[in-house]
A and B are shown apart, each in its own frame.
Chain A
C-alpha cells in the first residue's frame, strides 16, 4: 500500500487519519463554542468573574498604591501622579508648538503665493500697524 502511495508521489502518513478526525472534531467544537460565547449566560458569567476579580483585588491594589506613594515621598521621588501631570503639561506644550507650526506654514504659503498688487498691500498696512501698536502698549502696561 505504502509503495503504491509512494509511486503516486505521496508518502504514507499514518497520522493522516488522525488529523482528519481531529479537524472534524475541532470544527464541531469551534461551532459550539461560538454559539456558547454568544449567550447571555456566558456574558453574565464572564461579567461576574471580572467583577469579582476587581472587587477582590481593589483593597490590595489600593494598599500597594498607598505604600508606594509613601515610599516615593520618603525617597523624594516623583509619584505616578507627578509624572502624569508633567506628561499632560508636555502635551499642552506640543499642542502650542503644533499651533505655531500651523501659523508658520500659513505664513510660508502666503509668502510663496503670488503677491497682490502693491496698492492693495499699502491699503492693508495702515490698518494692521495701529493694531500692533495698540497691542504693544497693552503689553507694556
Chain B
C-alpha cells in the first residue's frame, strides 16, 4: 500500500518534472560574467582585456592572450562565476586578454587562415603590447585557435611570443584511421566546393551536427537524460544550462578557412609535412622557439590525442612539456574537474615563465 502511494506520487510528479526539464533546456544561462573592457576591434574580431584584480606590482609582467576556435564562442573559457578559467587566471595575477573572432558574415567567406594568423592576430597582439606595456606575451590557443597560434608562432618567431600553450591542438592529420573527421571529409564522399558554393561559409549548425555525430548517443540522448536525472540538483542544472547555452550558440566558419581545413589539413596533412604555404611563407614548425606546453585530452573524439603529440619533436623550443589529462575535448577545460586538474597545471607551468 505504501509503495503504491510512492509510485502514484512519482507518476503525478512526472508532469511537473517535465515542465522543469523544458524550462532548463530552453533557458539561457548567464555566462561570461568576468568584468572586461573592449580594447580593439577589426571587422567582427574583438580583443578584450579582463579587469585585473591585483595591483600591477603583484601581477605577472608577461600578459596572456587567449585564442579560441573560429566556430564556437570563446566564453567557454569564462563559463560562469566560480567555474571560469578566465576568473581563475585573473585571480592568479595574470594580465589577461581574449580574442573573440566574432561571427563571420557573407562578406567574410573568403577569409582564410592566412588572414586570421597574419592580419587579425598580429594586429590584436600589437594592441595588447601597447595596452599592457610589455613587449613579450604568452598565448594560449585552443582547438582551431591552436592552429592559428601555431602558424603565428612559426611565421613570426621574433615577435615577442615567450610562452605558447596549445590545448587539444589538431595539427597532425597523418593518422587517417584514427581521425573520424578525416574519413567524413574524404574527397570521395565530401564535396567541399559544392557545400561552400551553396552556403558561402560553413554553417554553424552543420559544424555542430558534425561534432555531435561523433558521439551521437551521448550528445543526443545521454546529455538530456543526465539533466532529467538531476533536475532536483540545482548545481548540476546550473552547470548543464551554462554548457548547453554555449553548445547551442553556433558560429559559422569562414568559407576560405573551412576549405583550407579540409583540403590542406584533413586531406593532405600539409602542416606536419612542412608543405603548408600561408601567404607565400612555408609554415616551418622548426622555427617555433617559444616555451611550449601541449595539453592533450585522452578521451578527445574531436581532436584525438594522435593529432597533438607530434609537434613536440618538430619545434626547436628547448623548454617544452606534453601534458596528458583524462577527459574530453571541452571537458578538460570546462568540466567539473577542470578547476582541480587542468587550470592549476597550466597556471603552474605559466607562472615561473611569466615573470
A: residues with CB less than 8 A from B are: 2, 11-15, 19, 22, 26, 29-30, 33-34, 37-40, 42-44, 46-48, 50-51, 54, 57-58, 61, 80, 83-85, 87-88, 91, 94-95, 98, 101-102, 105, 109
Smallest CB gap from A36: residue in B:
B216
Question: B residues 173-196 with Cβ under 8 Å of A?
Answer: 180, 183-184, 186, 188-191, 194-195
On whether A43 and B217 interact (CB within 8 A), knowing A14-B7, A91-B107, A98-B123, the answer reads no
Closest 3 CB pairs of A and B: A47-B189, A30-B217, A87-B107
* B126 proximal to A (CB < 8 A): yes
B198 at the interface (CB under 8 A from A): yes
Given known contacts A30-B222, A54-B198, A88-B107, A37 and B216 CB-to-CB distance under 8 angstroms: yes
- A residues in contact with B351, CB < 8 Å: none
| Residue contact A54 to B123, C-beta cutoff 8 Å | no
Q: A38-B183, A84-B106 are in contact. Are A33 and B217 (CB under 8 A)?
A: yes
CA distance A12 to B180 in the complex (A): 44
Q: Are B184 and A43 in contact (CB under 8 A)?
A: yes
Q: A19 → chain B, closest Cβ, in Å?
A: 7
Contact B198 A37 (CB under 8 A): no
State the majority secondary structure of interface residues on A.
helix
In the complex, what distance in Å separates the CA atom of A85 from the CA atom of B194?
A: 23
**Distance (whole angstroms) from the CB of B188 to the closest CB of chain A:** 8
* Bound Cα distance A30, B221 (Å): 10
CB distance from B54 to the nearest CB of A (A): 25
Please list 22 pairs of residues, one from A and one from B, whose beta carbons are closer than 8 Å in the complex, sorted by A's number. Answer: A2-B2, A2-B6, A12-B3, A26-B225, A30-B215, A30-B222, A33-B215, A34-B215, A34-B301, A43-B190, A44-B189, A46-B184, A47-B186, A51-B194, A54-B194, A80-B106, A84-B105, A85-B107, A94-B41, A95-B42, A98-B42, A102-B126
Taking CB atoms, residues of chain B closer than 8 Å to A30 are 215-218, 222
Most buried by B among A29, A94, A95, A98: A98
Select from chain A the residue with minimum beta-carbon distance to B219: A30
